[in-house]
Amino acid sequence: MEHRVSEAPTNPHPAGEQPRFDVADLYRGPAADAQAGPAAAVPLDEKLRQAYLWIVNYAVISPYYDLEFNDGPAASYAFGDSQTRLTLPSAQSYSSFVLLPLLNLMVRRRCLLVGGPGRGKTASAILMGVLAGYPLREVKRAIQHGQPQMTLADLLGNPLPADLVGAESMEQIRIAWRRWLSMRVKIIDEYNRIPTRTQSALLTLMADNYAEMLDHVYECPEAAWYLTANDDAGGGTYQVIEALRDRIDVVVKALHFNPRFLGDLLARIEEGFHPEAAVPPQIVFTEAEIDRANAEILTVALPKPLRRRLEFFASQFEFFEGAGAQFEYMTKDTLKLSGVDLRTVLAQDTGKDRVKDLGSQTRNGFSVRTLMTALVFVKATAWFRGNREVQLQDLRQVVPFVLHDKLAPHHDSPFFEQPGNAVLRVDRISWIRRLFDLSCAEYDRLDLDRSDPVGALSEEFTVVGVTEREARARLVKIERLLADLAKGRKLYGHLHDDALKLKYLHQRYSNYLRWLATRP
Amino acid sequence: MAEALSPAVQGALAAHRQRCNDLFAAARRGADLDPAAFQAWVREGIAPAVDAAAARRPAAAGAVLAALFERSLELVAQRVLGAGAREPFVTEGWLRLLPALPALLADDPGALSAAVVNVLHRLATTEGAQPQEWIAAMLRAGPGCADQAAFRDLGLVAAWRAGLAQYRDEALSLARRADPRLARIALGLDGVAPEALAGLLEAAAADPWRSLEEAREGPWGEPRLALVGRVGAFSGFGGQFPAPPLVETRGGAVHARCGGRWWRLCADCYGAVLLRRDAAPAGAPAAAGREASSVDASGAVRHRGLDAAFQELGGATSCASDGVTLAATIATSHAIYLVARR
């Protein structure tokens, strides 16, 4: 409803250019008016913040601010024997359960909502459909409800019966595709109750954006996906196939209901209030607006020092020294493909400090797709906060939700045996955030913002217009740097990636010199 | 006992019952909305408009009810509309205009109600403006408008005539292009022949301090300077200025400043308005306007080649001119005095 939407700036920033006099202002005022002209249109990030505030104020009772942002010192208080701290953020902070599905709507990825029954997972997904401009009834009809009898036809559609009888070739069989396939918001309720065979068809849809049946292909539009699961840890009727899990970009937990808000719930019951039926039109996004928001998000800058921190963080996990005799094969992927148990190889102790080695905490690294997803959600968060450049706290707050299902913890790691760390076996978001903090601390200890010789050589790299003498000088620099790096007694993930980068540069210059030598 | 609602309103309410109830429930969560009072508003403020639209186009009843219900919730909660409204003219305009414009209402109830409310709210919150004049003008001119665009054009013309001087140029331009029969009604010149309107508009355009009515009466006599108005007031009484302001000419326009804040003056014979600026206007201040204009300590004014003395301006602290209007301030008042040739 229109007056429910914040009219004041939702996250005020310093005023920019002086507003110009506009006669259309006569028709702007307390009554929201679509005909008042384009100047009345709010920026899309502001519109999304309005949507966020409307949802948390009126639609989903999620009185949490677990995505904490600060613009100054934040007070905190330690509670209980564990001395867990409750922090009072100094800048506008958000509920992950509301914000991440909204960001997912803008970047059109795949969001998994997990949590116990009755916590608003499906309601939240329905709201996203309404915010994307679909009538409530259409959104509800398009929900795919996972259940053990769900067939391919239930999911995708049916061949027309008359064609099945009369057709002489597959091409003659027309398919009545299900309506939901054409929608820009797709909701799969309880996806872990879908039989394995049907999950495979769903995988094709989610991964490649098309449906296939009897040699016919239906190309789907780009869509934001919302999947729900009561228990994502294997409690569904069917085990979710790994490839399907891998396609989920962000995992959001529905937090518990705080009984202190029972009054709100009571009022809702007494009034028969259905928030999804009362979404204000001015927070509904058109297809073009979502396209534009997506384009705006991609233009948000990721400053180079932050990119380096993310590179450093990402390089901690895939490396596994005991997995390869050759440098390139020292990865957890090699180990996984071999079928050898991680614990068996870990028995070959290299004397490395396994508490300090962040890689020891995971059973895997993460993929290029995961990194790309992280970049998109981080940019979307910065954009939502009204910034045009990513901040470190955007990375710190949002990356754990992207890596939630991607980074598998190695629970036998001695890290988890350290005092106060046992809880991180259970609280995966906090664990990944701790990993990120530890990675940043190591990055600062190594002073990589100021001294990054591998980075400097990478930036310097070019073979265009480089003389033979210069190329040879660079090869010497690379070899000297490798020799320096090799002096360290222990090998860690970031060092492994640096060494491989130097090998790459060495090869490029060597090949260039060979080419120079054979040139007529 | 309240009169029964018409079948058209009852049917529309039944069709939109769930949504209306949800909207009301949502509205109550953040605002002090009394169910009985709002029900009374539905009966008095919404039902007559729905009946009028349904009489013109029966199929539109549901859409009109839904749009006005939503609009009302929004505005009653803000105390812009209804019995508890801060500015009664908005409610008066809604109650009188919407049922009087059934065709426009049936076409786009959201747009029409927003236009009526927003213009009246602006007029009602502008010092010296006359919202009742706008209501009267649009009651006469509105039914002749073919569509929302025509209504809005005439609405802007009538708003200028009712005191919003900032729309003067656009209003004159629209009045020249509009159907002369409707334009003269919107301007309060019902008795003027349509073919005479263009001449009156030219005369008004040539001198902001000559009203259309005066132009109709014929040429003025000997020109003289006159105190034509005052604008601005102490912020403690709902005005703009916490202290007596000063005026400057910048970029050819008169600007007022006070406590680091700036306003642009727009003034003519129908009204004077101070438009708040977020920052200081560009350009260096001019000592006077395009013509030599001054006020001395005794209140003697020289402007556009004429001289006059005004006791009120004795001890003037600043003066500025845009070439047509001279603005002056004094140390003992929060108002800006306006002098013009008459």
% residues pLDDT > 70 (chain A): 93
Q: Tell me which of A387, A421, A445 is where a domain ends.
A: A445
Confidence of residue A17 (pLDDT cuts 50, 70, 90): very low
CA distance A224 to A250: 12
Which chain A residues are Cβ-neighbours of B21 within 8 angstroms?
271-273
- Token duo for residue B211: 């009203």
- Position A256 scores a pLDDT of 86
List the single residue in A with minimal CA-CA distance to B74. A3
Mutate to test the interface with B, among A27, A28, A55, A137 (most CBs of B within 10 A): A27
CA distance A425 to A411: 6
Residue A268, chain B, CB below 8 Å: the answer is: yes
For strands B325-330 and B336-341, give the pairing. Answer: antiparallel
- Token duo for residue A509: 């210059």
| B18 closest CB neighbour out of A1, A267, A277 | A277
Domain ranges of chain B: 7-212, 225-341
Same domain, A245 and A390: no
Q: Is B133 exposed, middle or buried (0-12, 13-18, 19+ CB in 10 A)?
A: middle
**Is A172 domain-assigned?**
yes
Indicate which CATH number applies to the domain containing A227: 3.40.50.300
Q: Is the dihedral of CA A443, A446, A448, A449 positive or negative?
A: positive
CA distance B315 to B336: 13
Query: ipTM for the complex?
Result: 0.83
- Position A169 scores a pLDDT of 83
- Position A12 scores a pLDDT of 65
- Position B290 scores a pLDDT of 47
List the single residue in A with minimal CA-CA distance to B121. A29
**Is A234 domain-assigned?**
yes
Instruction: Give the pTM.
Output: 0.72
A10 has a pLDDT exceeding 80: no
Confidence of residue A133 (pLDDT cuts 50, 70, 90): very high
DSSP reduced 3-state for A210? strand
A16 has a pLDDT exceeding 70: no
- Position A3 scores a pLDDT of 38
A452 has a pLDDT exceeding 80: yes
- Token duo for residue B138: 């649009």
Q: Is the dihedral of CA B97, B102, B103, B105 positive or negative?
A: positive
Chain A neighbours among B 9-28 (CB < 8 Å)? 18-19, 21-28
What's the mean pLDDT in A237-247?
A: 85
Same domain, A125 and A230: yes
- Position B342 scores a pLDDT of 86
Residue B329: which of B321, A215, B99 has the closest Cα?
Answer: B321
Cα–Cα distances (Å) from A301 to A107, A139, A297, A372, A383, in that order, read: 16, 35, 9, 14, 10
Number of domains comprising chain A:
3
Which chain A residues are Cβ-neighbours of B170 within 8 angstroms?
23
- Position A57 scores a pLDDT of 84
- Token duo for residue A405: 């299902």
Residue B144: which of B112, B193, B174, B103 has the closest Cα?
Answer: B103
Residue A274, chain B, CB below 8 Å: the answer is: yes
Per the CB < 8 A criterion, the answer to whether A490 and A442 are in contact is no
A278 has a pLDDT exceeding 60: yes
Which chain A residues are Cβ-neighbours of B115 within 8 angstroms?
27, 33, 35
Contact call for A271 and B121, based on CB within 8 A:
no
Residue B131: which of B169, B86, B164 has the closest Cα?
Answer: B164
What's the mean pLDDT in A277-289?
A: 90
A455 has a pLDDT exceeding 70: yes
Residue A146: which of A87, A186, A91, A104 has the closest Cα?
Answer: A186
A5 has a pLDDT exceeding 90: no
Same domain, A411 and A491: no
| B159 closest CB neighbour out of A26, A34, A275 | A26
**Is A38 domain-assigned?**
no
CA distance B167 to chain A (A): 6
What's the mean pLDDT in A183-194?
A: 93
Same domain, A431 and A468: no
Contact call for B26 and A31, based on CB within 8 A:
no
From first CA to last CA, the distance across chain A in angstroms is 76
Q: Where do we find the tokens 């769930």? A: B18
User: Which range of residues forms the domain containing residue A476?
Assistant: 453-518
Same domain, A155 and A274: yes
**Which ranges of chain B have pLDDT less than 70?**
1-2, 30, 287-291
Contact call for A27 and B113, based on CB within 8 A:
no
Same domain, A144 and A273: yes
What's the mean pLDDT in A20-27?
A: 78
Same domain, A488 and A359: no
DSSP per-residue string spanning A345-381: HHTS-----TTT-GGGGBS----HHHHHHHHHHHHHH
- Position B32 scores a pLDDT of 78
**Is A440 domain-assigned?**
yes
- Position A2 scores a pLDDT of 39
Mean pLDDT is lowest, of A161-165, A287-291, B26-30, B83-87, for B26-30
Max CA distance (Å), chain A: 89
Same domain, A376 and A489: no
DSSP per-residue string spanning A426-481: T-HHHHHHHHHHHHHHHHHHTTTTT--HHHHHHHH---TT--HHHHHHHHHHHHHH
Mean pLDDT is lowest, of A1-15, A197-211, B9-23, B118-132, for A1-15
- Position A235 scores a pLDDT of 56
- Position B101 scores a pLDDT of 97
**Is A77 domain-assigned?**
no
What's the mean pLDDT in A141-166?
A: 89
Residue B251, chain A, CB below 8 Å: the answer is: no
A123 has a pLDDT exceeding 50: yes
Same domain, A144 and A238: yes
Same domain, A400 and A483: no
Q: Where do we find the tokens 């919107």? A: B186
What's the mean pLDDT in A245-251?
A: 92
Mutate to test the interface with B, among A5, A7, A22, A23 (most CBs of B within 10 A): A23
For helices A287-298 and A96-107, give the axis angle rounded to 10 degrees: 100
CA distance A513 to A511: 5
Which chain A residues are Cβ-neighbours of B156 within 8 angstroms?
23, 26
Mutate to test the interface with A, among B32, B113, B122, B153 (most CBs of A within 10 A): B122
What's the mean pLDDT in A239-267?
A: 88
Q: Tell me which of A445, A461, A486 is where a domain ends.
A: A445
**Is A17 domain-assigned?**
no
Mutate to test the interface with B, among A2, A18, A21, A26 (most CBs of B within 10 A): A26
Confidence of residue A4 (pLDDT cuts 50, 70, 90): low
How many C-beta neighbours within 10 Å does residue A87 have?
A: 13
CA distance B124 to chain A (A): 12
Same domain, A193 and A342: no
**Is A358 domain-assigned?**
yes
Q: Could you give the count of Cα atoms lying within 13 Å of B27 in the half-sphere of its Cβ?
A: 26
CA distance B104 to B95: 15
Confidence of residue A446 (pLDDT cuts 50, 70, 90): very high
Same domain, A321 and A399: yes
**Is A383 domain-assigned?**
yes
